Structure 1
Amino acid sequence: MFYKDFTVSFFLKMILKRLKFIILLTLVGGILTLLYANFFITPSYSAQAMVIVQNYTAADAAADEAQKAAENGVTDQSQQEDIQDTTNAKSFNDGNVKIYASDLNASSTLAQYCTILFKNNVEIQNMLNGCGMEITQEQDSNFLWITMTSSNPKTAADTCNAVVNKITGTKNEQGLFDEIFSAGGVTAVKYASVPSSSTYPNVKNYALYGLVGGLALSLVISFILELVDTTVKHDDDLFKMYKIPVFGEIMDFEQNGDDTDEAKK
Structure 2
Amino acid sequence: MGESVNLEKALEIIKKNMTSLIILALVVGSIAALITFFLIPPRYQAQTQILVSQSEEAENMNNQDIETSLQLIGTYSDIIQSPIVLESVINNLELDRSFSSLSDQVEVNNQEQSQVLSVTVTAESMAEAERIVNEIVGVFQEQVTGIMNVDNVSILSPPNLEADTEPVSPNPLINITVGTVFGLILGLVLAFSRAYFDKSVKNEEEVERHLDIPVVGSVSRIEE
Aligned twin of 1:92? 57
Unaligned segments of structure 2, at least 5 residues = 220-224
Whole-angstrom CA distance in 2 between matches of 1:183 and 1:239: 85
How far has the Cα of 1:110 moved from its partner? 0.3
Aligned twin of 2:222? none
How far has the Cα of 1:247 moved from its partner? 4.0
Do the aligned partners of residues 33 and 140 (structure 1) sit closer, same or farther apart at CA in structure 2, a change above 3 Å counting? farther
Whole-angstrom CA distance in 1 between matches of 2:85 and 2:197: 65
Match of 2:143 among 152, 157, 176: 176
Aligned twin of 2:183? 214
What is the number of equivalent residue pairs in this alignment? 203
Q: Alpha-carbon deviations, 1:201-253, whole Å to 9, x = none?
A: 11111101101110011001111221233332455644644xxx42455599x
How far has the Cα of 1:20 moved from its partner? 0.9
Structure 2 counterparts to residues 119-130 of structure 1, below 5 A: 119-128=81-90, 129=95, 130=97
Opposite residue 86 of structure 2, the aligned amino acid is: I
Opposite residue 92 of structure 1, the aligned amino acid is: E
Aligned twin of 1:116? 78
Aligned twin of 1:39? 38
Match of 1:231 among 197, 200, 217: 200
Q: Would the aligned equivalents of 2:79 and 2:140 in 1 still touch at CA under 8 Å?
A: no
Aligned to 1:219, the other structure's residue is in SS state helix
Whole-angstrom CA distance in 2 between matches of 1:224 and 1:166: 60
Structure 2 counterparts to residues 14-25 of structure 1, below 5 A: 14-25=13-24
Rg (Cα) greater in structure = 1
Whole-angstrom CA distance in 2 between matches of 1:227 and 1:184: 72
Unaligned segments of structure 1, at least 5 residues = 58-90, 169-174, 253-265
How far has the Cα of 1:141 moved from its partner? 2.4
Q: Alpha-carbon deviations, 1:146-194, whole Å to 9, x = none?
A: 11121122011011112212223xxxxxx22222233450111111123
Structure 2 counterparts to residues 55-74 of structure 1, below 5 A: 56-57=54-55
Q: Alpha-carbon deviations, 1:118-157, whole Å to 9, x = none?
A: 2114243231434422222223522111111211220110
Do the aligned partners of residues 235 and 119 (structure 1) sit closer, same or farther apart at CA in structure 2, a change above 3 Å counting? same
Structure 2 counterparts to residues 145-164 of structure 1, below 5 A: 145-164=118-137
TM-score (norm: length of structure 2): 0.79
Q: Say if 2:26 is the partner of 1:12.
A: no
Q: Would the aligned equivalents of 1:110 and 1:142 in 2 still touch at CA under 8 Å?
A: no
Do the aligned partners of residues 119 and 247 (structure 1) sit closer, same or farther apart at CA in structure 2, a change above 3 Å counting? closer
Do the aligned partners of residues 198 and 246 (structure 1) sit closer, same or farther apart at CA in structure 2, a change above 3 Å counting? same
Q: Say if 2:111 is the partner of 1:135.
A: no
TM-score (norm: length of structure 1): 0.68
Opposite residue 115 of structure 1, the aligned amino acid is: S
Do the aligned partners of residues 239 and 115 (structure 1) sit closer, same or farther apart at CA in structure 2, a change above 3 Å counting? closer
Q: Would the aligned equivalents of 1:34 and 1:207 in 2 still touch at CA under 8 Å?
A: yes
Do the aligned partners of residues 148 and 12 (structure 1) sit closer, same or farther apart at CA in structure 2, a change above 3 Å counting? same
Instruction: Please give the root-mean-square deviation of Cα atoms over the aligned residues, in Å.
Output: 2.6
How far has the Cα of 1:103 moved from its partner? 3.1
Whole-angstrom CA distance in 2 between matches of 1:234 and 1:107: 82
Q: Would the aligned equivalents of 1:167 and 1:186 in 2 still touch at CA under 8 Å?
A: no
